[in-house]
Amino acid sequence: MDFGSQYTQLIARRIREQNVFSEILPPDTSLSDIESRRPKAVIISGGPSSVFADDSPDYDADIFGIDIPILGICYGLQLIAKHYNGKVAPGTKGEYGFAKIHLKNSNALLNEIPDDSQVWLSHMDKVTEIPDGWSVLAESSNGVVAAMSSPDGKRYATQFHPEVVHTTHGETIIKNFLFKISECDTSWTPGNFIQAQIEKIQAQVGDNHVLCGVSGGVDSSVVAALMHKAIGNRCTSVLIDHGLLRKNEAEQCVSALQNGLGVNIQSFDESEKFLTKLSQIEEPEQKRKIIGEQFIRSFENIAGRLGQFDYLAQGTLYPDVIESGVSHGKSAHVIKSHHNVGGLPEEMEFDLVEPLRELFKDEVRRVGRELGLPEDLVDRHPFPGPGLAVRIIGEITKERISVLQQADEIYMNCLHEAGIYDDIWQAFSVLIPVKTVGVMGDQRTYDNLLGLRAVTSSDGMTADWYRMPENVLSTISNRIVNSVKGINRVVYDITSKPPGTIEWE
């Protein structure tokens, strides 16, 4: 139950890492809706609100009558305490960051957790009196209730965040709740996901035909392979070359899917249409909307030539949905429109099939391996649907596309040669509309600035800049400046996410 915590998606990930399926629902989801899903347990997330605030999230209090375990985290602890008539006091001085917890009672939730364990706290309000009959399982170093449980062994709560890596034994706590308390099974595996999605796809599309959009990246390639496995040649995969792919990417992707897995795929060069509509457009959101619109129009046109299609399959992922503000909760901010989510036009001739919509990137890679996709395709760094359009800052021209393609190819080759490509979540080049003075062969140059970006991450929701070895940076810079006409200076981006996004636009 998402009460607005910045860590809600992380809770879901930590559960899935244990091969247990988890689903995020808004806080006001009804008890009947929850029960219809036949869950093994409910977790109430943290959140920025106070249980005393008038604008605190609405929720169905009947959920506390459900006869399965419930775990409250941070705000969830305070909400549980308040519901069961404990006392919560408004905080005047919060607990933030690292702390130690002192165990007070033995319990399944904190089984095998040593005393004085490090945890991560982030709260203002605190529980001053637990509900009647409940037990304090642990206190933080300043005497605040850090964990508690109900006498029937069905309700648990922690003031700290077991889902973050700063809580040193957080994984054990989550495993205790999943397996010792909730008796979950470990059936959430790539193989089971594939089988479930095959059945879901078959039920959704029936005997109809599906057009599958392939961009060249791992997400859409996995969708193409999954659709082929589900309905065979009734799915026609289409790669639209919008002129903004990486160098030789269209040919490589088609070959991997067609020759490697027997996927029914065709490639269409629509670059002139895209580049004409993008002419003189510099604003990034406008670029994304134009590309999203043209993708659908191109698909509609191609579909008309290929046959009758009622469905469009695409590689939307969970982070795409979250960042586009189309989340389960009501308070998500639109960070940027993804061309296959927020960039979709309102009027389309297709119903959507999005089998990866609830997955994170690392889960998609595991599914891809299970489906038999080649490693070089599965492990390819994420690539945005709008392609190089959002890596060329300012106006998009054929000349600027060519310059960036050449530079980016050198960058990727250097990473592979250094053996560090797989250590990086995402690396790419950005062509910046700033010219600088240089000297080449005793002659003055006045050419483009190129930005290099490389980050580490597990799911794309947060990221840290990659500490690139100095000798590798030097090699990359020298090769690009000496080989790519139009670039005379290279810089390296050391911004994490947040505050920045991974892509520049």
Do the Cβ atoms of 404 and 392 come closer than 8 Å? yes
**CA-CA distance, 328 to 338, in Å (whole number)?**
17
DSSP at 64: G
**CA-CA distance, 44 to 75, in Å (whole number)?**
8
Give yes or no: 338 in active site: no
Give yes or no: 74 in active site: yes
> Which member of 161, 169, 242, 339 is catalytic?
161
Do the Cβ atoms of 41 and 69 come closer than 8 Å? yes
**CA-CA distance, 349 to 218, in Å (whole number)?**
26
Dihedral pair phi/psi, residue 406, rounded to 5°: -65, -45
The CA distances from residue 132 to 84, 151, 159, 255, in Å, are 8, 9, 18, 66
Greatest alpha-carbon pair distance for the chain in Å reads 84
Do the Cβ atoms of 296 and 348 come closer than 8 Å? yes
**CA-CA distance, 268 to 246, in Å (whole number)?**
16
Give yes or no: 381 in active site: no
Neighbours of 74 (CB within 10 A): 24
3-state DSSP helix/strand/coil percent for the chain, to nearest 5? 35, 20, 45
> Which member of 74, 184, 212, 253 is catalytic?
74
Axis-axis angle for helices 249-261, 218-231 (nearest 10): 30
DSSP at 207: T
> Which member of 95, 139, 163, 505 is catalytic?
163
Type of residue numbered 205: V
Which CB contacts under 8 angstroms, 24+ apart, belong to 416-420?
Answer: 418/469, 418/472, 418/475, 420/468, 420/469, 420/472
Residues recognised as catalytic? 74, 161, 163
